[in-house]
Amino acid sequence: MMMAADQTVHGVPASLSAKVVGSYAYLTVRDRLPTILTKVIDTIHRNKNKFFEEYGEVGIQAEKQTISLLSKMRNELQTDKPVLALTDSLQDTECWNQYLQRQQKQQGDQESVSWFKSPWLYVECYMYRRVHEALWLNPPISDYDVFNEGKTQSFFESQQAVMTLCTYLEGVNKNMEELSKNQLLEHFNKLLQVSLWGNKCDLSISAGRDNSQKTSPIDSLNSLQPFILVNDSNMVWSTLISSQRQGQSEKTTAVRVDIVLDNAGFELVTDLVLADFLISSGLAHEVYFHGKSIPWFVSDVTANDFQWTIRQTMAANHKWMSKNGVQWKSHLKAGVWSYHDHPFWTQPNEFCDMADDAPDLYATLQGADLVLFKGDLNYRKLTGDRDWDHTVGFGTALRGFGPAPLCSLRTLKANVQVGLQPGQGEKLTSQDPDWMTSGKYGVIQFYSSNSEQKD
């Protein structure tokens, strides 16, 4: 694994950063982030007529000023300038600026907190927060989602795969009463894997290029099986089954699963299908979805994306797709499903800080029987995006984070991966040097503080 530029502190390895020339973090900050910013600027510019139609001259003025702020940031990034404090006085501004001060303390006074010399996780999150700031400072286009076009396109381009998935779900739901426990487990494993591989469709990794799902998500599961490096599905299943038993004896406990969402488009549909199955099978009685409160990492789910996806599914010209959409709407109406967001999800903190920095969110997650964390960014935050040895236990890398039994469903797109068998990482590196960043491999990785398997 790439050696970090900083030494290990108290047995905890350094954060990955762009200091190491040629590392994936370096290439991301040097190439991918400026590309994303350029696309954002282009999107705003292309929509200037729309802003003019809606807001008149003031819309054009806002477009120009927003582009000017974003171009300035792109220049700061490319020339490794110091990271600046936020000035927009939003709900989370103070937290961000305190985080910057913390970074400065850690780096000492000898060098400023800059784009290439600071933790990659921090500067990447910071870039998206600055995009939000540039828009926010320029009403009336403050609420414009610069990533919306890509997200809707990804949804429509994955229609065939969505139809296949909805047809499969309909077949399962229709025969639910007759299913044996083993058949139920088989469907559960399939839909868990569909949700895992849905995470391949990530627009921030492809820098906004088309990354939709073209093939049948069910038919490709067998061929993808060898690429699951850690598969703790059975522990996820056992957790749900034992939560149910507890519920039966106490009569008051409804089993709740929380899904910390990642991408909109096809991946969100895979999460909704999994959540529908959990409810209709009785494996769970409630699902909390956690999304982002602002547009984030190009394709992440916001409240608007969540509602839009359900509306589109309802309106689809496909029998089972629209039936599923209607069912999802009724789950929301009945309170069986609920959507939540919190500023912590769009901050740079690793999750081991959550209990201190967002105790209300930590307390919410403690109410779940199982928390599914979708995607690469969540994995990076779970493990602190650090240069861990591949054989370090998942529990160790979580550094005390464990509000409830949790599982990461993640395709690998950043060079951090823990919980592998001895020699597994080395073997992968010799066979496929890009295994940690290509999105070709995935994990279903479980941890529970009260499980035998603590690491």
- Looking at residue 254, the DSSP 8-state letter turns out to be P
HSE (side-chain half, CA atoms, 13 Å) at 78:
13
HSE (side-chain half, CA atoms, 13 Å) at 332:
14
pLDDT at residue 210, rounded to an integer: 52
pLDDT at residue 8, rounded to an integer: 58
126 and 172 share one domain: no
118 and 157 share one domain: no
The more confidently predicted of residues 35 and 5 is 35
- Digit-coded pLDDT (tens) for 396-454: 999 999 999 999 999 999 999 999 999 999 999 999 999 999 999 999 999 999 864 44
- C-alpha–C-alpha distance, residues 221 and 169, integer Å: 15
Q: Is the per-residue pLDDT at 39 higher than 80?
A: yes
- Looking at residue 345, the DSSP 8-state letter turns out to be G
Last residue of a domain, one of 81, 114, 137: 137
- Digit-coded pLDDT (tens) for 93-138: 999 999 999 999 988 877 889 999 999 999 999 999 999 999 999 9
Q: Is the per-residue pLDDT at 243 higher than 70?
A: yes
pLDDT at residue 108, rounded to an integer: 83
pLDDT at residue 213, rounded to an integer: 66
89 and 173 share one domain: no
Q: What token pair was written down for 300?
A: 């992440």
- C-alpha–C-alpha distance, residues 420 and 299, integer Å: 29
Residue 406 lies inside a defined structural domain of this protein: yes
For residues 419 and 383, is the Cβ–Cβ distance under 8 A? no
Q: Which of 248-262, 295-309, 359-373 shows the lowest per-residue confidence on average (mean pLDDT)? A: 248-262
1 pLDDT band (50/70/90 cuts)?
Answer: very low
Residue 144 lies inside a defined structural domain of this protein: no
Q: In what order do the strands lie in the sheet with 442-447?
A: 228-231, 442-447, 406-411, 370-374, 256-260, 286-291, 337-341
Last residue of a domain, one of 70, 102, 137: 137
Over residues 238-267, the mean pLDDT reads 85
- C-alpha–C-alpha distance, residues 126 and 34, integer Å: 13
66 pLDDT band (50/70/90 cuts)?
Answer: very high
The more confidently predicted of residues 436 and 250 is 436
pLDDT at residue 110, rounded to an integer: 76
User: What is the chain's mean pLDDT, rounded?
Assistant: 93
Q: Is 415 helix (H, G, I), strand (E, B) or coil?
A: coil
User: What is the total count of domains within the chain?
Assistant: 2
H or E element, residue 229 = strand 228-231
Locus of tokens 């927009």? 88
pLDDT at residue 249, rounded to an integer: 55
Report if pTM > 0.85.
yes
Over residues 165-180, the mean pLDDT reads 96
Helices (H), 281-353: 303-315, 319-334
Residue 352 lies inside a defined structural domain of this protein: yes
5 pLDDT band (50/70/90 cuts)?
Answer: very low
167 and 131 share one domain: no
95 and 196 share one domain: no
- Looking at residue 253, the DSSP 8-state letter turns out to be P
Last residue of a domain, one of 86, 109, 137: 137
Q: Is the per-residue pLDDT at 11 higher than 90?
A: no
Phi-psi region for residue 423, left (φ > 0), alpha (ψ -120 to 50) or beta?
Answer: left
Range of the domain at 132: 24-137
162 and 106 share one domain: no
pLDDT at residue 453, rounded to an integer: 47
pLDDT at residue 446, rounded to an integer: 98
Residue 100 lies inside a defined structural domain of this protein: yes
- Looking at residue 343, the DSSP 8-state letter turns out to be G
216 and 302 share one domain: yes
209 and 343 share one domain: yes
pLDDT at residue 455, rounded to an integer: 44
CATH number at residue 367: 3.40.50.10880
CATH number at residue 47: 1.20.930.60
Residue 143 lies inside a defined structural domain of this protein: no
Nearest to 444 by CA among 421, 410, 394, 402: 410
Q: Is the per-residue pLDDT at 205 higher than 50?
A: no
Q: Is 338 helix (H, G, I), strand (E, B) or coil?
A: strand
Percent of the chain with pLDDT over 90: 87
- Digit-coded pLDDT (tens) for 322-337: 999 999 999 999 999 9
197 and 130 share one domain: no
388 pLDDT band (50/70/90 cuts)?
Answer: very high
320 and 385 share one domain: yes
Residue 407 lies inside a defined structural domain of this protein: yes
- C-alpha–C-alpha distance, residues 130 and 112, integer Å: 18
pLDDT at residue 4, rounded to an integer: 36
pLDDT at residue 109, rounded to an integer: 74
3 pLDDT band (50/70/90 cuts)?
Answer: very low
101 and 236 share one domain: no
pLDDT at residue 197, rounded to an integer: 94
259 and 369 share one domain: yes
248 pLDDT band (50/70/90 cuts)?
Answer: low
Residue 105 lies inside a defined structural domain of this protein: yes
Bridge partner residues of 443 (DSSP) = 230, 410
Residue 454 lies inside a defined structural domain of this protein: no
User: Positive or negative, the Cα torsion across 62, 63, 68, 74?
Assistant: positive
